[in-house]
Structure 1
């Protein structure tokens, strides 16, 4: 079913064009810890990713994002970037989900804060 959906839509995985380009012109460069597979063409003018699961751009780690956009010449599979002790591990974008950050006082919170510094205007 996924193959049929990929023929007519882009959001169910790679499209037919991407699948053919990857098969005939792509050279596998590496894979990240999330299962995404990275490719390039022969002259390294194009770089792309085939996502594992749902195509979500926030699933690309920072080092691979830099490689995809030609910021780094060496791919992170062969020459990984050094990580600092204070760096957090990569996680998906949670915007629009139940786990999204909601600040205090937001109307989206289950327990909105009571505001005492605001007085609603009433016409006389």
Structure 2
């Protein structure tokens, strides 16, 4: 029996976060930005769109990021939460090497020459 990998999706807060990680990822991964907040309608749309995909949450390690993470945890209970070190606070501010380590820990392949 052949096992098919689920499509992977990473939810991030902002465009700068998306830009930072999209060039690092070797795998075919969709990156979705919340732009800080998500409307109920948008959340409902995502729930339908992402129900059969492997979802990862990668948000900032600040108060706004933790609020968003809590909301996404309720809506996507099966999602895997990825964390950057609190000393960097923002995904966009974290060194590529650190982000690569976080992504690799979730079995998301990255380009080694990027860091």
Larger helix proportion of the pair: 2
TM-score calculated relative to the size of structure 2 = 0.25
Larger strand proportion of the pair: 2
> Computing the radius of gyration over CA atoms, which structure comes out larger, 1 or 2?
1
